């Protein structure tokens, strides 16, 4: 026990002496101490050297450090924005513990082209990573640039990090215990796996909805959502995990293409969903310009750098500000569906606007800002998809519902009637159809007006629903003609229901005026080929009822052509 305590004291004294020597060297920054959890490297712990030509070697960089040419970063941001320069960072890692420790040094911004860690001048002292850099044969590419280090007990390690990229250049670094880094990456992979799975399911739903309902908005949202998923994949370094080395050099172009598709399809969806062409032509033209500027980003490899930067600033910065503001204006003007759209659009583009500031170097590459677009994607598309689903359901109601009475219309009768016909035929169940028509309805309209006629039809619809069951289908076929499809009901039971309906209508003297109906009833027969055969027989029976004096019920003719008793 005493020997262990003494050994610990010796290690502590050695480390303190080492730390004093390190701090005594000229211009030395504060070291980063290895802990049992993630440690973020702060600006006070880094010294930077800008390599404008990108040609400096490790030896030249070490010489530059000794000559005091590095800049301390205490007052400068670690995010340097978009720059053509290469940056070198010098970092001292400290292990004060009595045992050797392994650690992972991660560069926390995934879409960075080339990151190299130098621990010495030899070829074996260099580790290479980056999402568009070909790795040595047999190397595994990680989502972010990550390097393994091993520190002996009570020791320090000086490392140099070389960062070169065509995207925004930053030096946000973290030190991890290897197991914690692995768990963190597994959680990030799980989160985005669930998100991408949700995106795929939603896209399939929208494609089928667009096909079945002839809804272009659903197809545009599917394209927008797919582009958003691709953008998030590139932003978080996932394509580099499966692309071969021969294709990783194109990652930057593909990343920019995903941004162009995202904002291009987004503008198309925005214009169509909010009906700008019909109601707001000037806004439609402006958003149309933003749309085609966004699609132009796809051609980034052939665009001049200054022009591309201008287009990106307009598309990802100014464009969202205008479209968000205009969506709230339309919400204020009570444009249908504008409220949900304004909220969803704000959430979707908040991450992109903050991302523009981050890429420009005005904001750090924090975990919140890096993953905010994913959160915005999940929330915004829940809003958009829910809104489109609501619109589809409303349009379906309009397509299959009679506007005046709220009953099913002829289209729904044809669809559901055939389904009930098939079911009754398959299981041998009875099926009956009651067809009814308002007596002298033209005279009712001519004498008391169409408004009174509409009230008659609505009241008759109420009687049809009250005298039928929830399993039955009550339909307004058109004009003053109604039908009730009675499932699992033989014709004698259907006749009783029809009689109750006739009496209820006759007793309901609207404004003291007696309005009667004539009814015809048919039943499924073995030779029927569909619901239309039943409808024809019920129609013939109803006209017999009118010819016999109206306000009565007639049954279908039997096999001899005579009315059933």
Alpha-carbon distance of 23 to 17, in angstroms, equals 10
Whole-number pLDDT of residue 388: 78
Whole-number pLDDT of residue 138: 65
Alpha-carbon distance of 434 to 538, in angstroms, equals 7
Alpha-carbon distance of 119 to 57, in angstroms, equals 13
Whole-number pLDDT of residue 24: 42
Whole-number pLDDT of residue 196: 93
Q: How many CB atoms lie within 10 A of CB 521?
A: 28
Whole-number pLDDT of residue 5: 40
Closest CA to 246 of 134, 112, 129, 164: 134
What is the DSSP secondary structure assignment for residue 245, as one 8-state letter?
A: T
Contacts of 286 (CB under 8 A, 6+ apart): 322
Alpha-carbon distance of 256 to 359, in angstroms, equals 13
Closest CA to 340 of 281, 320, 348: 348
Whole-number pLDDT of residue 451: 93
Residue 352 · residue 367 · CB < 8 Å: no
Closest CA to 370 of 109, 192, 38, 79: 109
Match 């409220």 to its residue by tokens: 339
Helix (H, G, I), strand (E, B), or coil: what is residue 141? coil
Q: Is the dihedral of CA 303, 306, 307, 311 positive or negative?
A: positive
End-to-end CA distance of the chain: 110
User: Which stretches in the chain have pLDDT values below 70?
Assistant: 1-29, 72-77, 136-139, 361, 392, 394-396, 558-565
């Amino acid at each position: 026990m005493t020997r262990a305590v003494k050994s610990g004291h010796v290690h502590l004294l050695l480390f303190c002496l080492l730390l004093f020597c390190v701090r005594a060297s000229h211009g030395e920054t504060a070291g980063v101490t290895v802990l049992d959890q993630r440690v973020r490297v702060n600006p006070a712990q880094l010294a930077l050297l800008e390599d404008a030509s990108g040609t400096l070697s490790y030896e030249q960089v070490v010489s530059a450090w000794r000559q005091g040419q590095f800049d301390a970063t205490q007052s400068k941001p670690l995010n340097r924005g978009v720059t053509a320069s290469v940056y070198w960072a010098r970092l001292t890692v400290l292990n004060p513990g009595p045992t050797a420790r392994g650690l992972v040094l991660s560069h926390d911004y995934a879409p960075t082209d080339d990151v190299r860690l130098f621990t010495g001048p030899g070829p074996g002292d260099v580790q290479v990573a980056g999402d568009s850099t070909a790795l040595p044969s047999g190397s595994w590419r990680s989502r972010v640039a990550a390097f393994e280090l091993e520190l002996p007990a009570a020791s320090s390690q000086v490392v140099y990090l070389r960062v070169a990229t065509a995207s925004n250049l930053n030096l946000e670094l973290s030190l991890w215990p290897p197991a914690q880094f692995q768990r963190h990456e597994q959680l990030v992979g799980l989160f985005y796996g669930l998100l991408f799975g949700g995106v795929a399911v939603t896209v399939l739903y929208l494609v089928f909805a667009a096909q079945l309902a002839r809804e272009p908005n659903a197809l545009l949202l599917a394209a927008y959502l797919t582009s958003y998923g691709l953008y998030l994949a590139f932003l978080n370094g996932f394509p580099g995990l499966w692309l071969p080395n021969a294709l990783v050099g194109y990652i930057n172009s593909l990343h920019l293409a995903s941004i162009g598709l995202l904002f291009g399809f987004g503008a198309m969806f925005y214009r169509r969903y909010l009906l700008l062409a019909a109601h707001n032509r000037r806004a439609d033209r402006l958003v149309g310009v933003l749309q085609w500027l966004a699609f132009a980003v796809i051609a980034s490899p052939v665009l001049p750098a200054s022009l591309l930067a201008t287009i990106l600033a307009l598309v990802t910065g100014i464009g969202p500000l205008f479209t968000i503001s205009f969506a709230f204006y339309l919400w204020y003007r009570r444009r249908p569906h504008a409220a949900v759209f304004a909220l969803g659009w704000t959430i979707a583009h908040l991450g992109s606007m903050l991302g523009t500031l981050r890429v420009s170097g005005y904001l750090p590459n924090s975990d919140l800002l890096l993953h905010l677009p994913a959160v915005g994607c999940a929330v915004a598309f829940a809003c958009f998809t829910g809104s489109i689903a609501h619109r589809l359901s409303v349009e379906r109601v309009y397509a299959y519902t009679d506007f005046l009475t709220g009953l099913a219309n002829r289209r729904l009768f044809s669809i559901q009637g055939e389904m009930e016909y098939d079911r009754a035929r398959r299981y041998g169940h009875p099926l009956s159809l009651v067809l009814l028509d308002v007596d002298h309805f033209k005279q009712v309209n001519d004498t008391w007006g169409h408004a009174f006629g509409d009230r008659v039809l609505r009241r008759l619809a109420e009687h049809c629903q009250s005298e039928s069951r929830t399993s039955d289908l009550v339909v307004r076929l058109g004009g003053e003609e109604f039908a009730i499809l009675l499932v699992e009901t033989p014709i004698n039971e259907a006749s009783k229901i029809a009689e109750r309906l006739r009496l209820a209508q006759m007793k309901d003297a609207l404004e003291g005026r007696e309005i009667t109906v004539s009814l015809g009833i048919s039943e499924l027969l073995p030779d029927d080929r569909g619901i239309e055969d039943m409808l024809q027989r019920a129609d013939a029976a109803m006209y017999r009822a009118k010819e016999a004096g109206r306000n009565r019920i007639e049954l279908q003719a039997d096999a001899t052509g005579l009315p059933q008793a």
